[in-house]
Amino acid sequence: MMVMMLVLPGLAILLAPAIWLIMGRPRFLHHAVAEDKRSAITIIIPARNEESNIARLLVSISQQSLRPSQIIVVDDHSTDDTARIATKLGARVISAEALPEGWMGKPWACQQGANAALEDQPENWLLFLDADTTLEPGAIASLHKLTQKTKGVHSVCPYHQTERPYEQLSAFFNVLMLAGVNAFGHRNSSDSHSALFGQCLLISSEHYLQVDGHSRVKNKALENFHLATELRQQEIPCTCYLGKGQINMRMFPKGFRELWHSWKKGFSGAAAHTGGNALLFSSLWISSMMLTIVCLLLITLTQTPEYFAAVTTAAYIINALQCLIVFKLAGNFSPWNALLFPVCLLFYQVLFFSSIIDKKRGKQTEWKGRKVH
């Protein structure tokens, strides 16, 4: 027992810095001044029942210092006012064709939007945006600046704007999503192991056609991971950025149930496609915090030496401070969230194991009226 008292809190402290091996070099999308009035970027927005989001995104696009050449909204069989709102706000709305066998909804919507864009403007860049994102006024100018540097692929993780208390539960999911792309560690951020963010993806028409668009990832729930693999096989460079101050998202305005099902969607599959280093160091970081929680329980439930309480307190402070920093990279999470990190961490663990159990039972998660593999 004495050996355990010595080892547990010390191990928690030792493992805590693991997060910086995969998040120690964050790359932000830099601000740029618009030099032209219109860019060679076509925005494609796949949208299924997005009436609560689509207006905010389209209004934010209308306020850009540099306007896109075209905005295409692919109405993916919505049963709400998505198409009407998008049309009213000036977007070109395409009604998605029936979902072919072997395709999932989002890849199919993206492919149809890209087909329409390339038919009209075959030399344009394609910017795929999720409907729950919004752009700060200079975002298109900043993305346009990237197109002048390389013909590779650029993806941005939007900054999570939370408004209601239950949205704070997304903190660890958001941070581990950033870590999972394996792009912000101490290796080259654009190396062959990095993935892509699906919420904001900028690709040249040349490279999109080179990998046959979304057709090779047509049946994938996490199409961004699989598309990155296809691009790497073609030796097409991929670069990831953090969107703080430029590109935002409000993920779960409809309530806790939406949050639960969204993170559960393909959650265990995300772990399977996460790079080895990212998975290892993320696990070590999580283990540090879980050990700290165990030590706190031991202090509460048993009689422990003073040094054990002191080292446990140090481990807790270290992990809380780290959470404060990394949470702010991902979204506008409250400092109280970092201070009380065991709450969100335990929620993360419950949802993670629930997803694993459902997958082993063959149970599929339903998202927006469709089964997700």
What tens digit of pLDDT does each residue of 313-342 get? 999 999 999 999 999 999 999 999 999 999
Query: Are 42 and 117 contacting, i.e. CB atoms less than 8 angstroms apart?
Result: yes
Q: What pLDDT, on a 0 to 100 scale, did the predictor assign at position 193? A: 64
Q: How far apart are CA 146 and CA 238, in angstroms?
A: 12
Q: Return the DSSP state at 67.
A: B
Is 0.85 topped by the overall pTM?
yes
Query: Are 51 and 162 contacting, i.e. CB atoms less than 8 angstroms apart?
Result: no
Residue 96 has pLDDT above 80, yes or no: yes
Q: How far apart are CA 114 and CA 108, in angstroms?
A: 10
Domains along the sequence of the chain with CATH: 2-22+275-372 (no CATH), 27-254 (3.90.550.10)
What tens digit of pLDDT does each residue of 178-234 get? 998 888 987 654 455 678 999 999 999 999 999 999 999 988 878 888 898 899 888
